[in-house]
Structure 1
Protein backbone atom coordinates (compact mmCIF):
# COMPACT_ATOMS: atom_id res chain seq x y z
CA UNK A 1 0.00 0.00 0.00
CA UNK A 2 2.94 2.31 0.60
CA UNK A 3 3.77 2.44 -3.12
CA UNK A 4 0.21 3.45 -4.04
CA UNK A 5 0.45 6.35 -1.58
CA UNK A 6 3.66 7.56 -3.24
CA UNK A 7 2.15 7.19 -6.71
CA UNK A 8 -1.02 8.99 -5.56
CA UNK A 9 1.00 11.89 -4.15
CA UNK A 10 3.19 12.11 -7.28
CA UNK A 11 0.21 12.14 -9.63
CA UNK A 12 -1.56 14.69 -7.42
CA UNK A 13 1.52 16.93 -7.52
CA UNK A 14 1.43 16.96 -11.34
CA UNK A 15 -2.22 18.00 -11.36
CA UNK A 16 -1.57 20.69 -8.77
CA UNK A 17 1.33 21.94 -10.91
CA UNK A 18 -1.10 22.23 -13.85
CA UNK A 19 -3.39 24.27 -11.61
CA UNK A 20 -0.51 26.55 -10.67
CA UNK A 21 0.37 27.11 -14.35
CA UNK A 22 -3.30 27.81 -15.12
CA UNK A 23 -3.42 30.29 -12.24
CA UNK A 24 -0.33 32.13 -13.51
CA UNK A 25 -1.81 32.18 -17.03
CA UNK A 26 -5.04 33.65 -15.61
CA UNK A 27 -3.11 36.46 -13.91
CA UNK A 28 -1.17 37.14 -17.13
CA UNK A 29 -4.42 37.10 -19.10
CA UNK A 30 -6.00 39.64 -16.74
CA UNK A 31 -2.96 41.89 -17.18
CA UNK A 32 -3.12 41.43 -20.93
CA UNK A 33 -6.82 42.35 -21.07
CA UNK A 34 -6.15 45.39 -18.87
CA UNK A 35 -3.36 46.48 -21.23
CA UNK A 36 -5.61 46.00 -24.28
CA UNK A 37 -8.44 48.05 -22.78
CA UNK A 38 -6.16 50.89 -21.69
CA UNK A 39 -4.29 50.89 -25.02
CA UNK A 40 -7.52 50.92 -27.01
CA UNK A 41 -9.61 53.42 -25.07
CA UNK A 42 -6.95 55.72 -23.62
CA UNK A 43 -4.25 55.73 -26.29
CA UNK A 44 -6.35 54.66 -29.29
CA UNK A 45 -3.83 51.88 -30.06
CA UNK A 46 -4.62 48.30 -31.00
CA UNK A 47 -2.20 45.37 -30.88
CA UNK A 48 -3.28 42.28 -32.79
CA UNK A 49 -0.54 40.26 -31.11
CA UNK A 50 -1.77 41.18 -27.64
CA UNK A 51 -5.36 40.37 -28.61
CA UNK A 52 -4.25 36.96 -29.86
CA UNK A 53 -2.28 36.47 -26.66
CA UNK A 54 -5.57 36.75 -24.74
CA UNK A 55 -7.02 33.64 -26.34
CA UNK A 56 -3.68 31.84 -26.13
CA UNK A 57 -3.60 32.44 -22.38
CA UNK A 58 -7.27 31.55 -22.04
CA UNK A 59 -6.53 28.26 -23.79
CA UNK A 60 -3.77 27.52 -21.27
CA UNK A 61 -6.11 28.36 -18.38
CA UNK A 62 -8.82 26.07 -19.73
CA UNK A 63 -6.66 23.17 -20.90
CA UNK A 64 -4.42 22.99 -17.83
CA UNK A 65 -7.27 23.78 -15.47
CA UNK A 66 -8.96 20.49 -16.40
CA UNK A 67 -6.41 18.20 -14.67
CA UNK A 68 -6.50 20.45 -11.61
CA UNK A 69 -10.31 20.39 -11.53
CA UNK A 70 -10.27 16.59 -11.70
CA UNK A 71 -7.77 16.43 -8.84
CA UNK A 72 -9.74 18.77 -6.58
CA UNK A 73 -13.18 17.41 -7.53
CA UNK A 74 -14.01 20.80 -9.02
CA UNK A 75 -15.40 19.31 -12.22
CA UNK A 76 -19.06 19.07 -13.11
CA UNK A 77 -20.88 15.98 -11.90
CA UNK A 78 -24.38 15.07 -10.80
CA UNK A 79 -23.94 16.00 -7.15
CA UNK A 80 -27.59 15.25 -6.41
CA UNK A 81 -26.69 11.55 -6.47
CA UNK A 82 -22.97 11.65 -5.70
CA UNK A 83 -23.20 13.42 -2.33
CA UNK A 84 -25.58 10.79 -0.96
CA UNK A 85 -23.38 7.83 -1.83
CA UNK A 86 -20.95 6.14 0.54
CA UNK A 87 -17.22 6.66 0.05
CA UNK A 88 -16.87 3.13 -1.36
CA UNK A 89 -19.59 3.77 -3.95
CA UNK A 90 -17.96 7.08 -4.86
CA UNK A 91 -14.63 5.29 -5.24
CA UNK A 92 -16.10 2.71 -7.63
CA UNK A 93 -17.88 5.42 -9.63
CA UNK A 94 -14.60 7.36 -9.90
CA UNK A 95 -12.66 4.27 -10.99
CA UNK A 96 -15.23 3.38 -13.65
CA UNK A 97 -15.47 7.02 -14.78
CA UNK A 98 -11.70 7.36 -15.08
CA UNK A 99 -11.28 4.05 -16.92
CA UNK A 100 -14.25 4.42 -19.27
CA UNK A 101 -14.29 8.16 -19.89
CA UNK A 102 -11.34 10.26 -18.68
CA UNK A 103 -8.43 8.15 -19.91
CA UNK A 104 -9.91 7.12 -23.32
CA UNK A 105 -11.07 10.70 -23.98
CA UNK A 106 -7.60 11.98 -23.06
CA UNK A 107 -6.06 9.48 -25.46
CA UNK A 108 -8.29 10.68 -28.32
CA UNK A 109 -7.45 14.32 -27.62
CA UNK A 110 -3.74 13.47 -27.43
CA UNK A 111 -3.84 11.36 -30.62
CA UNK A 112 -5.51 14.00 -32.77
CA UNK A 113 -3.97 16.97 -30.96
CA UNK A 114 -0.45 15.67 -31.50
CA UNK A 115 -0.90 15.52 -35.28
CA UNK A 116 -2.57 18.94 -35.16
CA UNK A 117 0.45 20.45 -33.37
CA UNK A 118 3.05 18.66 -35.51
CA UNK A 119 1.34 19.79 -38.72
CA UNK A 120 1.26 23.36 -37.43
CA UNK A 121 4.97 23.19 -36.56
CA UNK A 122 5.99 21.65 -39.89
CA UNK A 123 4.05 24.32 -41.82
CA UNK A 124 5.57 27.09 -39.73
CA UNK A 125 2.03 28.26 -39.04
CA UNK A 126 1.61 31.73 -37.66
CA UNK A 127 -1.15 34.23 -37.37
CA UNK A 128 -2.97 35.18 -40.54
CA UNK A 129 -3.30 38.74 -39.26
CA UNK A 130 -0.57 41.36 -39.72
CA UNK A 131 1.07 41.97 -36.37
CA UNK A 132 -0.22 38.65 -35.00
CA UNK A 133 1.77 36.04 -33.12
CA UNK A 134 4.22 34.13 -35.32
CA UNK A 135 4.38 30.62 -33.80
CA UNK A 136 0.87 29.17 -33.67
CA UNK A 137 2.28 25.67 -33.03
CA UNK A 138 3.19 26.64 -29.47
CA UNK A 139 -0.42 27.03 -28.37
CA UNK A 140 -1.50 24.03 -30.45
CA UNK A 141 1.10 21.95 -28.58
CA UNK A 142 -0.70 22.66 -25.32
CA UNK A 143 -3.62 20.51 -26.55
CA UNK A 144 -1.79 17.13 -26.50
CA UNK A 145 0.21 18.17 -23.42
CA UNK A 146 -2.98 18.91 -21.51
CA UNK A 147 -4.43 15.58 -22.66
CA UNK A 148 -1.46 13.78 -21.09
CA UNK A 149 -1.96 15.69 -17.84
CA UNK A 150 -5.69 14.95 -17.93
CA UNK A 151 -4.95 11.22 -18.31
CA UNK A 152 -2.54 11.52 -15.37
CA UNK A 153 -5.33 13.17 -13.36
CA UNK A 154 -7.55 10.22 -14.33
CA UNK A 155 -4.91 7.83 -13.00
CA UNK A 156 -4.81 9.95 -9.85
CA UNK A 157 -8.58 9.51 -9.51
CA UNK A 158 -7.98 5.75 -9.61
CA UNK A 159 -5.11 5.74 -7.07
CA UNK A 160 -7.11 7.94 -4.71
CA UNK A 161 -10.14 5.66 -5.09
CA UNK A 162 -7.99 2.61 -4.30
CA UNK A 163 -6.86 4.34 -1.11
CA UNK A 164 -10.51 5.05 -0.26
CA UNK A 165 -11.51 1.43 -0.91
CA UNK A 166 -8.71 0.24 1.38
CA UNK A 167 -10.05 2.49 4.15
CA UNK A 168 -6.89 4.59 4.25
CA UNK A 169 -8.52 7.74 2.77
CA UNK A 170 -11.97 9.31 2.58
CA UNK A 171 -13.70 11.72 0.25
CA UNK A 172 -13.90 14.94 2.20
CA UNK A 173 -16.70 17.30 1.23
CA UNK A 174 -15.45 20.61 -0.14
CA UNK A 175 -17.42 23.80 -0.17
CA UNK A 176 -16.81 26.76 -2.42
CA UNK A 177 -13.44 27.32 -4.05
CA UNK A 178 -11.27 26.39 -1.08
CA UNK A 179 -8.96 24.23 -3.20
CA UNK A 180 -8.25 26.99 -5.70
CA UNK A 181 -6.23 29.39 -3.59
Structure 2
Protein backbone atom coordinates (compact mmCIF):
# COMPACT_ATOMS: atom_id res chain seq x y z
CA UNK A 1 0.00 0.00 0.00
CA UNK A 2 1.41 3.39 -1.02
CA UNK A 3 0.58 6.52 0.96
CA UNK A 4 0.48 9.90 -0.72
CA UNK A 5 2.33 12.06 1.82
CA UNK A 6 1.16 15.30 0.21
CA UNK A 7 -2.50 14.25 0.41
CA UNK A 8 -2.05 13.22 4.03
CA UNK A 9 -0.35 16.54 4.82
CA UNK A 10 -3.18 18.49 3.15
CA UNK A 11 -5.85 16.50 5.01
CA UNK A 12 -3.90 16.90 8.25
CA UNK A 13 -3.75 20.68 7.86
CA UNK A 14 -7.48 20.88 7.05
CA UNK A 15 -8.37 19.22 10.32
CA UNK A 16 -8.11 21.61 13.23
CA UNK A 17 -6.07 20.83 16.33
CA UNK A 18 -9.18 20.53 18.55
CA UNK A 19 -10.75 18.08 16.06
CA UNK A 20 -7.55 15.99 15.81
CA UNK A 21 -7.23 15.91 19.60
CA UNK A 22 -10.90 14.95 19.92
CA UNK A 23 -10.42 12.16 17.37
CA UNK A 24 -7.46 10.79 19.34
CA UNK A 25 -9.37 10.89 22.62
CA UNK A 26 -12.39 9.22 21.01
CA UNK A 27 -10.19 6.50 19.56
CA UNK A 28 -8.61 5.87 22.99
CA UNK A 29 -12.00 5.74 24.76
CA UNK A 30 -13.47 3.42 22.11
CA UNK A 31 -10.52 1.02 22.17
CA UNK A 32 -10.57 0.86 25.96
CA UNK A 33 -14.35 0.38 25.92
CA UNK A 34 -14.15 -2.42 23.35
CA UNK A 35 -11.72 -4.22 25.64
CA UNK A 36 -13.88 -3.70 28.71
CA UNK A 37 -16.99 -4.81 26.78
CA UNK A 38 -15.63 -8.37 27.02
CA UNK A 39 -16.70 -8.18 30.65
CA UNK A 40 -20.25 -8.79 29.38
CA UNK A 41 -19.23 -12.09 27.79
CA UNK A 42 -17.73 -13.14 31.11
CA UNK A 43 -20.88 -11.92 32.86
CA UNK A 44 -23.09 -14.14 30.67
CA UNK A 45 -20.87 -17.14 31.43
CA UNK A 46 -20.98 -16.44 35.17
CA UNK A 47 -24.78 -16.07 35.09
CA UNK A 48 -25.17 -19.33 33.15
CA UNK A 49 -22.94 -21.20 35.59
CA UNK A 50 -24.84 -19.75 38.53
CA UNK A 51 -28.22 -20.71 37.01
CA UNK A 52 -27.06 -24.27 36.24
CA UNK A 53 -25.68 -24.65 39.76
CA UNK A 54 -28.86 -23.30 41.39
CA UNK A 55 -31.44 -25.06 39.23
CA UNK A 56 -29.50 -28.21 38.42
CA UNK A 57 -27.69 -28.85 41.69
CA UNK A 58 -29.66 -26.69 44.17
CA UNK A 59 -26.45 -24.98 45.17
CA UNK A 60 -25.47 -21.41 44.25
CA UNK A 61 -22.22 -19.69 45.06
CA UNK A 62 -22.15 -16.33 46.80
CA UNK A 63 -18.84 -15.56 45.10
CA UNK A 64 -20.45 -15.97 41.66
CA UNK A 65 -23.34 -13.73 42.65
CA UNK A 66 -20.93 -11.05 43.84
CA UNK A 67 -18.87 -11.47 40.68
CA UNK A 68 -22.02 -10.71 38.69
CA UNK A 69 -22.45 -7.45 40.59
CA UNK A 70 -18.83 -6.51 40.04
CA UNK A 71 -18.96 -7.28 36.31
CA UNK A 72 -22.18 -5.27 35.92
CA UNK A 73 -20.53 -2.38 37.76
CA UNK A 74 -17.47 -2.44 35.50
CA UNK A 75 -19.60 -2.62 32.36
CA UNK A 76 -21.84 0.26 33.38
CA UNK A 77 -19.09 2.47 34.80
CA UNK A 78 -16.85 2.23 31.75
CA UNK A 79 -19.82 2.16 29.41
CA UNK A 80 -20.65 5.74 30.41
CA UNK A 81 -17.59 7.12 28.61
CA UNK A 82 -18.33 5.02 25.53
CA UNK A 83 -21.93 6.25 25.49
CA UNK A 84 -20.76 9.86 25.75
CA UNK A 85 -18.21 9.37 22.97
CA UNK A 86 -20.63 7.71 20.56
CA UNK A 87 -23.75 9.74 21.48
CA UNK A 88 -25.53 6.51 22.40
CA UNK A 89 -26.82 7.86 25.70
CA UNK A 90 -30.43 8.89 26.25
CA UNK A 91 -31.19 12.38 25.03
CA UNK A 92 -34.28 14.50 24.69
CA UNK A 93 -34.02 15.68 21.09
CA UNK A 94 -37.44 17.27 20.71
CA UNK A 95 -35.96 20.77 20.32
CA UNK A 96 -32.27 19.95 19.79
CA UNK A 97 -32.85 18.28 16.41
CA UNK A 98 -34.16 21.56 14.96
CA UNK A 99 -31.16 23.68 16.00
CA UNK A 100 -28.35 24.72 13.69
CA UNK A 101 -24.97 22.94 13.98
CA UNK A 102 -23.56 26.08 15.62
CA UNK A 103 -26.33 26.15 18.26
CA UNK A 104 -25.86 22.42 18.88
CA UNK A 105 -22.13 22.98 19.43
CA UNK A 106 -22.85 25.69 22.01
CA UNK A 107 -25.43 23.50 23.74
CA UNK A 108 -22.84 20.69 23.99
CA UNK A 109 -20.20 23.04 25.42
CA UNK A 110 -22.55 24.61 27.95
CA UNK A 111 -24.27 21.34 28.89
CA UNK A 112 -21.03 19.44 29.45
CA UNK A 113 -19.50 22.36 31.36
CA UNK A 114 -22.54 22.92 33.61
CA UNK A 115 -23.73 19.34 34.14
CA UNK A 116 -21.26 16.62 33.17
CA UNK A 117 -18.04 18.13 34.54
CA UNK A 118 -19.50 19.08 37.95
CA UNK A 119 -21.04 15.59 38.25
CA UNK A 120 -17.74 13.95 37.33
CA UNK A 121 -15.85 16.21 39.75
CA UNK A 122 -18.14 15.41 42.69
CA UNK A 123 -18.12 11.66 42.03
CA UNK A 124 -14.35 11.62 41.50
CA UNK A 125 -13.54 13.62 44.66
CA UNK A 126 -15.92 11.62 46.87
CA UNK A 127 -14.78 8.30 45.44
CA UNK A 128 -11.15 8.93 46.39
CA UNK A 129 -11.80 8.64 50.15
CA UNK A 130 -14.13 5.73 49.51
CA UNK A 131 -11.44 3.89 47.52
CA UNK A 132 -8.65 4.87 49.91
CA UNK A 133 -10.52 3.49 52.91
CA UNK A 134 -11.30 0.30 51.03
CA UNK A 135 -7.61 -0.15 50.17
CA UNK A 136 -6.53 0.77 53.70
CA UNK A 137 -8.57 -2.00 55.32
CA UNK A 138 -8.12 -4.46 52.42
CA UNK A 139 -11.89 -4.59 52.13
CA UNK A 140 -13.47 -7.87 51.17
CA UNK A 141 -16.96 -9.32 51.11
CA UNK A 142 -18.82 -9.69 54.40
CA UNK A 143 -19.99 -13.12 53.27
CA UNK A 144 -17.72 -15.96 54.40
CA UNK A 145 -17.50 -17.40 50.89
CA UNK A 146 -17.64 -14.01 49.15
CA UNK A 147 -15.02 -12.40 46.99
CA UNK A 148 -11.86 -10.89 48.41
CA UNK A 149 -10.35 -7.71 46.94
CA UNK A 150 -13.47 -5.53 47.04
CA UNK A 151 -11.07 -2.57 47.07
CA UNK A 152 -10.13 -3.48 43.51
CA UNK A 153 -13.64 -3.08 42.13
CA UNK A 154 -14.11 0.19 44.02
CA UNK A 155 -10.96 1.50 42.35
CA UNK A 156 -12.83 1.43 39.06
CA UNK A 157 -15.06 4.32 40.16
CA UNK A 158 -12.53 7.18 39.91
CA UNK A 159 -10.96 5.61 36.81
CA UNK A 160 -14.31 5.37 35.04
CA UNK A 161 -15.39 8.92 35.87
CA UNK A 162 -11.97 10.21 34.77
CA UNK A 163 -12.55 8.44 31.45
CA UNK A 164 -16.01 10.02 31.30
CA UNK A 165 -14.42 13.45 31.86
CA UNK A 166 -12.01 12.71 29.02
CA UNK A 167 -14.96 11.81 26.77
CA UNK A 168 -16.66 15.08 27.76
CA UNK A 169 -13.48 17.02 27.00
CA UNK A 170 -13.36 15.36 23.59
CA UNK A 171 -16.91 16.44 22.84
CA UNK A 172 -16.13 20.02 23.91
CA UNK A 173 -13.05 20.08 21.67
CA UNK A 174 -15.12 18.75 18.76
CA UNK A 175 -17.76 21.42 19.40
CA UNK A 176 -15.09 24.15 19.41
CA UNK A 177 -13.77 22.73 16.14
CA UNK A 178 -17.30 22.96 14.72
CA UNK A 179 -17.54 26.58 15.79
CA UNK A 180 -14.13 27.34 14.23
CA UNK A 181 -15.10 25.71 10.96
CA UNK A 182 -18.40 27.52 10.71
CA UNK A 183 -20.60 24.68 11.91
CA UNK A 184 -19.31 21.73 9.91
CA UNK A 185 -18.50 18.41 11.55
CA UNK A 186 -15.46 19.62 13.46
CA UNK A 187 -12.94 18.38 10.90
Match of 1:23 among 12, 17, 37: 37
Aligned residues: 171
Q: Is it true that 1:38 corresponds to 2:52 in the alignment?
A: yes
Q: Is it true that 1:58 corresponds to 2:53 in the alignment?
A: no
Q: Specify the alignment match of 1:121 in structure 2.
A: 135
* 3-state SS of paired residue (2:155): helix
* 3-state SS of paired residue (1:80): coil
* 3-state SS of paired residue (1:132): coil
RMSD: 1.6
Q: Deviations over 1:15-66 (max 9, x none)?
A: 2134214421111111111111011111222111111000100001110010
Q: Determine which structure has more spread, i.e. the larger CA radius of gyration.
A: 2
Counterparts in 2 of 1:53-92, with a 5 A limit? 53-92=67-106
Q: Please, which runs of 5 or more residues in structure 2 have no aligned partner?
A: 1-14
Kindly indicate whether the alpha-carbon contact (under 8 Å) linking 1:21 and 1:64 is maintained by their aligned counterparts in 2: no
Kindly indicate whether the alpha-carbon contact (under 8 Å) linking 2:101 and 2:184 is maintained by their aligned counterparts in 1: no
Q: Which one has more relative contact order, counting CA pairs under 8 Å at least 6 apart?
A: 2
Q: Deviations over 1:120-143 (max 9, x none)?
A: 010111000011001111111111
Q: Please, which runs of 5 or more residues in structure 1 have no aligned partner?
A: 172-181
Q: CA deviation at 1:105?
A: 1.1
Counterparts in 2 of 1:92-131, with a 5 A limit? 92-131=106-145
Q: CA deviation at 1:152?
A: 0.4
For residues 143 and 9 of structure 1, the distance between their equivalents in structure 2, rounded to whole angstroms, comes to 25
CA 169–19 in structure 1, closer or farther in 2 if over 3 Å, else same: farther
Q: Is it true that 1:159 corresponds to 2:150 in the alignment?
A: no
